[in-house]
């Protein structure tokens, strides 16, 4: 698609409406939302949990301290732009493996020996190491430089939906040392069985809430990032959509517990049967993660079908995997249109234009104004 294929609307930021999608957009009967970056701001929760978990795992596994602030957002966004990293534990695995490889290139067998000893310990013992051991501070700028190189290598895979294994192979994470690290992380597996999953879940939810969510634990002591989440969607946006008679659902990589907790009273505006939480399924069956996770169309198809609407349904996402999932879902559900939220990142807006999104908006709260315009046109 080219810019001339889109009508620009300037109200609360620039929105782009594809000319040949106007009729479909004006006749939607339901809306399915992605959550992170659309309804909820994940930057203060998931993004920060990724950084802290990477820092804590590296301390534990290498003895070197990389401050969480040195885990760059740019590297995280580059990884997600591949289009197959909807699960943040996949992103965490890649970050930890890459930084471990860089450290092992310097320190060789000493890290492998440390891993061998750590694998003999249980979680309470590992937690004790994090609390009592003195870790060597990595020199300033080292981690930043390594992550810039990771970003450069991963950027070549943008939009390919390459699997974690394929990305690992492409960027050079196939050494015996990294293989030993994977044994220690035991990923993918459930909370309580995989060190990586266990640390990430406790960093995200908080050790005080983890038993309520996962039914076991805690094994570590982390404050938790979930409590810092903020809403992006305004109540009047959802109210406006409901007044139009639109039924609202969700297709999200998150779990239901944390989503409903953050949405609070807004949860009542959604058709519960049409809300599919990939995180719940992956937590229960990690071995089936490729079936459930974006860009697999499974969750979106399930959500759309459970809306029970004959007309068009609008899916709203904000990432490469959302658009790829939408295109995959179109093979099963033809009455589906896509809106991309670009959050004032014109690189993201350009990506959505180049890949033929029906609607491109800066924020989800722009949607009612766009529908008003289409109704009057």
Q: What is the pLDDT of residues 203-222, one digit of tens each?
A: 999 999 999 999 999 999 99
Q: What is the pLDDT, as a whole number, of residue 269? A: 97
Say if residue 185's pLDDT is above 90: yes
Residue in the block written with tokens 């092992």: 104
| Together in a domain, 222 and 237 | no
Query: Beta strand 14-18 with 359-361: parallel, antiparallel or unpaired?
Result: antiparallel
Peptide bond between residue 166 and the one before it cis (omega within 30 degrees of 0): no
Q: What is the pLDDT, as a whole number, of residue 2? A: 65
| Together in a domain, 252 and 321 | yes
Say if residue 3's pLDDT is above 80: no
Q: What is the pLDDT, as a whole number, of residue 348? A: 92
| Together in a domain, 283 and 175 | no
Among residues 227, 248, 273, which one ends one of the domains? 227
| Together in a domain, 296 and 206 | no
Q: Which of 294, 334, 377, 326 is nearest to 81 (CA)?
A: 294
Calculate what percentage of the chain has a pLDDT beyond 90.
Answer: 86
Say if residue 165's pLDDT is above 80: yes
- Rg of the chain on CA atoms, in Å: 21
Sequence-ordered list of residues with C-beta below 8 angstroms from that of 117, at least 6 positions apart, any chain: none
- Mean of the per-residue pLDDT values of the chain: 94
Residue 159 pLDDT grade (very low, low, confident, very high; cuts 50, 70, 90): confident
Count of positions (residues) in the chain:
377
pLDDT winner (highest mean) among 6-15, 52-61, 177-186: 52-61
| Together in a domain, 92 and 203 | yes
Q: Among the listed ranges 118-122, 172-176, 372-376, which one has the minimum average pLDDT value?
A: 172-176
Q: What is the pLDDT, as a whole number, of residue 107? A: 76
| Together in a domain, 107 and 151 | yes
Q: Which of 83, 40, 33, 37 is nearest to 315 (CA)?
A: 33
Span 239-243, average pLDDT: 97
| Together in a domain, 306 and 251 | yes
| Together in a domain, 222 and 366 | no
Say if residue 156's pLDDT is above 90: yes
Q: Among the listed ranges 68-72, 343-347, 354-358, which one has the minimum average pLDDT value?
A: 343-347
CA distances from 255 to 19, 69, 276 (A): 36, 26, 9
| Together in a domain, 164 and 58 | yes
Q: What is the pLDDT, as a whole number, of residue 198? A: 97
Number of domains in the chain: 2
Span 257-275, average pLDDT: 97
| Together in a domain, 143 and 289 | no
Span 269-288, average pLDDT: 95
pLDDT tens for residues 102-153? 998 887 778 888 998 999 999 999 999 999 999 999 887 899 999 999 999 9
Peptide bond between residue 107 and the one before it cis (omega within 30 degrees of 0): no
Among residues 184, 200, 227, which one ends one of the domains? 227
Among residues 205, 227, 249, which one ends one of the domains? 227
CA 323 to chain centre: 14
Domain hosting 101: range is 46-227
Q: What is the pLDDT, as a whole number, of residue 196? A: 97
Asked if 44 and 230 count as a contact pair (C-beta separation under 8 A), the reply is yes
Calculate what percentage of the chain has a pLDDT beyond 70.
Answer: 99
- Alpha-helical (H) ranges within 108-215 are 109-118, 123-132, 142-155, 164-171, 176-185, 195-205, 210-214
Say if residue 364's pLDDT is above 70: yes
Q: What is the pLDDT, as a whole number, of residue 174? A: 81
Residue 1 pLDDT grade (very low, low, confident, very high; cuts 50, 70, 90): low
Read off the CATH number of the domain in which 368 is found: 3.40.50.1000
Q: Which of 83, 36, 77 is nearest to 279 (CA)?
A: 36
CA distances from 190 to 56, 161, 196, 235, 288 (A): 19, 24, 9, 35, 12
| Together in a domain, 204 and 96 | yes
């Amino acid at each position: 698609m080219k810019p001339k294929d889109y009508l620009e609307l300037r109200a609360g930021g620039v929105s782009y409406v594809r000319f040949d999608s106007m009729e479909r957009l004006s006749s939607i009967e339901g809306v399915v939302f992605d959550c992170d970056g659309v309804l909820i701001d994940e930057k203060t929760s998931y993004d920060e949990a990724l950084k802290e978990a990477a820092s804590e795992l590296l301390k534990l596994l290498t003895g070197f301290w990389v401050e969480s602030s040195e885990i760059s957002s740019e590297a995280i966004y580059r990884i997600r732009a591949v289009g197959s990293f909807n699960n943040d534990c996949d992103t965490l695995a890649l970050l930890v493996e890459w930084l471990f490889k860089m450290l092992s290139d310097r320190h060789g067998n000493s890290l492998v020996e440390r891993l061998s000893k750590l694998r003999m310990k249980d979680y309470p013992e590992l937690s004790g190491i994090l609390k009592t051991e003195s870790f060597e501070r990595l020199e300033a700028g080292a981690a930043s430089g390594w992550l810039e190189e990771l970003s450069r290598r991963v950027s070549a895979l943008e939009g390919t939906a390459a699997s974690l294994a394929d990305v690992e192979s492409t960027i050079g994470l196939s050494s015996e040392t990294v293989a030993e690290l994977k044994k220690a992380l035991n990923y993918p597996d459930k909370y309580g069985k995989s060190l990586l999953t266990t640390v990430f879940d406790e960093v995200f939810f908080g050790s005080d809430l983890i038993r309520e969510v996962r039914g076991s634990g805690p094994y570590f002591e982390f404050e938790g990032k979930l409590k810092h989440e903020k809403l992006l969607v305004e109540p009047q946006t959802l109210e406006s959509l409901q007044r139009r008679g639109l039924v609202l659902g969700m297709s999200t990589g998150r779990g239901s517990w944390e989503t409903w907790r953050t949405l609070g009273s807004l949860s009542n505006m959604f058709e519960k049967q049409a809300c599919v939480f990939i995180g719940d399924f992956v937590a229960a069956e990690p071995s089936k993660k490729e079936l459930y996770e974006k860009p697999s169309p499974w969750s979106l198809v399930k959500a759309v079908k459970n809306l029970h609407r004959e007309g068009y349904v609008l899916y709203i996402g904000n990432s490469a995997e959302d658009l790829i999932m939408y295109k995959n879902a179109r093979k099963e559900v033809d009455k589906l249109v896509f809106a991309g939220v670009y959050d004032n990142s014109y690189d993201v807006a350009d990506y959505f234009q180049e890949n033929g999104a029906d609607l491109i908006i800066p924020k989800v709260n722009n949607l009612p104004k766009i529908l008003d315009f289409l109704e009057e046109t």
